[in-house]
Structure 1
Amino acid sequence: MKSALYLCLLFLGLQVQGQHSSNLNVEQQEQKISHSPEDHSQAENSAHVKIAPGNADFAFRFYKQVREEVGNKNIFFSPLSISTAFAMLSLGARSNTLRQMHKGLTYNLTEMEEQEIHAGFQRVLQLLNDPHREVQLNMGNALFIDDRLKLFQKFLDDVKNFYYSEAISSNFQDLPEATKEINKHIETKTRGKIVDLLKSLDPDTVMVLVNYIFFKGYWEKPFNNLATRDDDFLLDSKNSVKIKMMHQNKPFNIHRDEKLSCWVVEIPYKGNATSLFVLPDEGTMKKVEDALLKETVSNWMQSLEKRKIYLDLPKFSVSSCYDVKSLFEKMGVTEVFSDQSDLSGVAENSLLKVSKAIHKAMVDVSENGTEAAAVTVIEVVPLSAAFPPPPHIVFNRPFLMITVDKITHSILFMGKIVNPAAKED
């Protein structure tokens, strides 16, 4: 019964680095962050709006870094999952480590206070997890904490209050058992879709932070599976693969960007989420990718006009896995992964650094499931002499996909489909 299923997960492993320190001045480590939601009730409703531009900037910056890394392969990730996990960890970061993390996540602290970042995520999590939404959307965080690690109460309170994180006591002295426990949690939260993500843990691991996001949306206008047919998807000028191509002949919000030579088609879900499918003309993918900025996408959204089109869109199911540590280091966020890391606001008497950061994401796009297609609707339309004829937009070559939550103004997912037949990159 799915039309689109997205699963994203970020795993962060923290380990003790260097010598234990016993002379931390806890008062000096306190951040000016109140963890009482009631103190900020007035700003609560607009807090998520303040972090949206920074999160969008980060999304496009991270996409371009991934593109450099993977070349001509499928890309799919949740920028919001990555931002949330690192923003949550930043509650315990100090000095230059904290400054680097803010800069990497593209938050401008001359325009907003640190407190507002966390209040923004708090509101995003509240809105995304609203059980009354038509789209099925669950996002959450968990901390697996070694029995020997004594977290500062303030850090624990902040991650629970701002990020609704579970705190789970674990025995990292038994690494196989701890790995199994974390994998089981991940499998449960992702409805069994991500299994055995962690093969092993670093022997020095004392804390693991997990962020997951699960999204299941139903198209406002489902595709009829009787119209789905075999077709060719052009990988490049010489190679193609066989795929299942879905078809619709209905009005959609579309935009032709002549400057960037691409079509933009909005395919909304029931509820307050939508996906933009961007089809660059042949040979113009790089030009479109280079222009990916929040201003570009905002311009596309504002320029959309409802028009009847012939739409061909492939069914696809792809997944991608990324070494976020390596990507962040190339983006200038280095200290939190090194022996210079200052995460002194996390735990007493322990110097910590991030040893591993992994992000895995999956997407599954189809008509709307077999049950919905059991009701066969045959549409008969009168012939007309309308001019110009509806454009035929065929996604039979590499295209981009951006999924946006309209309530929080968040980019939930972002990707490039180069080969819809490739299961995993």
Structure 2
Amino acid sequence: MLKKIIFSLIFFSFILTAVGCGLGTPSDSVISSDVDFGKKDYQKVVSANNQLGLDLLSIAERDQNGNIFISPASLFMALSMVYNGADGTTKEEISEVLKIKGIDTTELNKANASLITSLYQNSKSVQIRIANSIWINEDFHFQPEFSQNTQDYFNAEIEEIDIFDSKSAEMINDWVKKSTNNKIEEIVESPLNPDLVALLINAIYFNGDWKFEFDKKQTKDRTFYLNDGTAKEVPLMSLKENLPYLETEHFQAVSLPYGDEEMSMNVYLPKENTSLAEFEKMMTNSNWEKWNEDFREEEGTVMLPKFKLQYEVLLNETLKGLGMPTAFKKTADFTKMVEESGPLWINSVKQKTYIDVNEKGTEAAAVTSVEMVTESAPANRPFYMEVNRPFFISITDNLTGTILFLGSISNPQEL
């Protein structure tokens, strides 16, 4: 019996496969044919995107159950938009994290447009949507070139918002829900950060039916062994079929295709003599590419857990550790993003993901948000004060200055 196995990397493998086999946008939002880019320009960034995912895997935080489920493609596109507004050291550091040194901004934009357009899928069996949006504080204005590039090459929707209006957060979250088929319902909270200048968001939604569906009658509860040595009962789906298969001294792997094989989920199962942590260290870009070439079709049976997972991570420290600390400082250089002078830096990079694996197929979504802030809000803005924690009060006679009452309210009650 295989023991001490968790499937966080299985989830990760799916996202990498999606990047390599079929990311796109709905037919009504494919990059305009008027935009200049080459059909195969995406080849310049696929390896960089996959490397970003592997880098994230090595240092991203695990959830309370020890799982990781990330979307390197969503983060790559979000940071690519941010890259258009960066300059100097800030730009150099972002290029280091994205692994795009030697690729200028125009080439990067064309590669992203090519990726979205060339890998678009919207068949009966596989649907993928990629959406980008940028929300700017109405007191600020984007540099014309930044605005034009993000609209042309990323098909980004640009919206001005009143950050003190509660409906603004609602609008942003509604966009996220719509872009992920209601699988991710919220990326911002109300009220919005009063120092918010701009919010850049990428959303990816995937829904794919297995080429070979699992028979629901074969799904049975079986023992699943956790990392700490304990066990639990989980529903395992079962499939007997000719499938691309790979086995080494350290792991077994199978590739489960969707639809007409436009995409697939690669499932890697470390052997008993190899821990999942040890296997993750083997996940280099060169190994990933070699393993993909080594799959051979064989007849066999695969048993896969039926599961749903939601994951959320703040990537600030992760991205600083990967080499872009300056972008999170007041000294960051984003002079190519907005017209107004003054400091502008990244306050947070957040990603939320969702996946549902069942007998019919897989549904998955990811949203990445990059919050840009400034040092202080422009003058004459309305303030926002929500008294939602212990507070202090005084009642004073204004003529004499006499204090009549003082109160420290930790737990307000109604009589």
TM-score by length of 2: 0.75
State the Cα deviation string for residues 30-56 of structure 1 (Å, max 9, x = none). xxxxx9976845xx1110011111111
Residue 278 (1) aligns with residue 268 (2): yes
Q: Give the drift of 1:299.
A: 1.1
> In structure 2, the residue corresponding to 1:75 is in which secondary structure?
coil
Q: Per the alignment, do residues 198 and 237 of structure 1 end up closer, same or farther by CA in structure 2, a change over 3 Å counting?
A: closer
| 1:55 pairs with one of 49, 52, 68 | 49
Q: Which residue of 2 aligns with 1:96?
A: 89
Identity of aligned residues (%): 21
> In structure 2, the residue corresponding to 1:232 is in which secondary structure?
strand
Q: Give the drift of 1:265.
A: 0.6
Q: Per the alignment, do residues 128 and 46 of structure 1 end up closer, same or farther by CA in structure 2, a change over 3 Å counting?
A: closer
Whole-angstrom CA distance in 2 between matches of 1:92 and 1:164: 16
Residue pair 1:37, 1:161 contacting (<8 A) in 2 also:
no
Whole-angstrom CA distance in 2 between matches of 1:194 and 1:72: 20
Q: Which residue of 2 aligns with 1:220?
A: 211
Structure showing greater radius of gyration is 2
Q: Per the alignment, do residues 326 and 133 of structure 1 end up closer, same or farther by CA in structure 2, a change over 3 Å counting?
A: farther
Residue 141 (1) aligns with residue 104 (2): no
> In structure 2, the residue corresponding to 1:233 is in which secondary structure?
strand
| 1:363 pairs with one of 339, 350, 355 | 355
Q: Per the alignment, do residues 141 and 216 of structure 1 end up closer, same or farther by CA in structure 2, a change over 3 Å counting?
A: same
Q: Which residue of 1 aligns with 2:300?
A: 309
Residue pair 1:159, 1:165 contacting (<8 A) in 2 also:
yes
Residue pair 2:218, 2:237 contacting (<8 A) in 1 also:
yes
| 2:238 pairs with one of 235, 242, 247 | 247
Residue pair 2:135, 2:158 contacting (<8 A) in 1 also:
yes
Q: Give the drift of 1:315.
A: 0.3
Q: Give the drift of 1:72.
A: 6.8
Q: Which residue of 2 aligns with 1:23?
A: none
Q: Give the drift of 1:113.
A: 3.4
Matches within 5 A, 1:232-381: 232-236=223-227, 238-258=229-249, 261-271=250-260, 272-282=262-272, 283-350=274-341, 351-368=343-360
Across the two proteins, how many residue pairs are aligned to each other? Answer: 334
Whole-angstrom CA distance in 1 between matches of 2:130 and 2:219: 32
| 1:187 pairs with one of 156, 177, 180 | 177
Q: Which residue of 1 aligns with 2:382?
A: none
- Kindly provide the amino acid, as one letter, of the partner of residue 178 in structure 1: S
Residue 82 (1) aligns with residue 78 (2): no
> In structure 2, the residue corresponding to 1:76 is in which secondary structure?
coil
Question: Bigger shift: 75-84 or 330-339?
Answer: 330-339
Q: Give the drift of 1:134.
A: 4.4
State the Cα deviation string for residues 48-71 of structure 1 (Å, max 9, x = none). 01111111111101111115x669
Whole-angstrom CA distance in 1 between matches of 2:228 and 2:121: 46
Q: Give the drift of 1:237.
A: 5.8
Residue pair 2:236, 2:304 contacting (<8 A) in 1 also:
yes
Q: Per the alignment, do residues 212 and 241 of structure 1 end up closer, same or farther by CA in structure 2, a change over 3 Å counting?
A: same
Q: Give the drift of 1:131.
A: 3.8
Residue pair 2:241, 2:301 contacting (<8 A) in 1 also:
yes
Q: Per the alignment, do residues 189 and 70 of structure 1 end up closer, same or farther by CA in structure 2, a change over 3 Å counting?
A: closer
Residue 177 (1) aligns with residue 179 (2): no
Q: Per the alignment, do residues 284 and 222 of structure 1 end up closer, same or farther by CA in structure 2, a change over 3 Å counting?
A: same
Q: Per the alignment, do residues 57 and 196 of structure 1 end up closer, same or farther by CA in structure 2, a change over 3 Å counting?
A: closer
Q: Per the alignment, do residues 238 and 245 of structure 1 end up closer, same or farther by CA in structure 2, a change over 3 Å counting?
A: same
Q: Which residue of 1 aligns with 2:39?
A: 45
Q: Give the drift of 1:291.
A: 1.2
Whole-angstrom CA distance in 2 between matches of 1:173 and 1:186: 20
Whole-angstrom CA distance in 2 between matches of 1:87 and 1:133: 31
Q: Give the drift of 1:330.
A: 2.0
TM-score by length of 1: 0.74
Q: Point out where structure 2 has 5 or more consecutive residues left out of the alignment.
A: 1-10, 16-30, 368-415
Q: Per the alignment, do residues 96 and 36 of structure 1 end up closer, same or farther by CA in structure 2, a change over 3 Å counting?
A: farther
**Structure 1 stretches of 4+ moved >6 Å:** none
Whole-angstrom CA distance in 2 between matches of 1:195 and 1:124: 26
- Kindly provide the amino acid, as one letter, of the partner of residue 115 in structure 2: V
Q: Point out where structure 1 has 5 or more consecutive residues left out of the alignment.
A: 8-34, 370-400, 404-411, 414-425
State the Cα deviation string for residues 267-289 of structure 1 (Å, max 9, x = none). 11114111110000124322211
- Kindly provide the amino acid, as one letter, of the partner of residue 360 in structure 2: N
Q: Per the alignment, do residues 188 and 38 of structure 1 end up closer, same or farther by CA in structure 2, a change over 3 Å counting?
A: closer
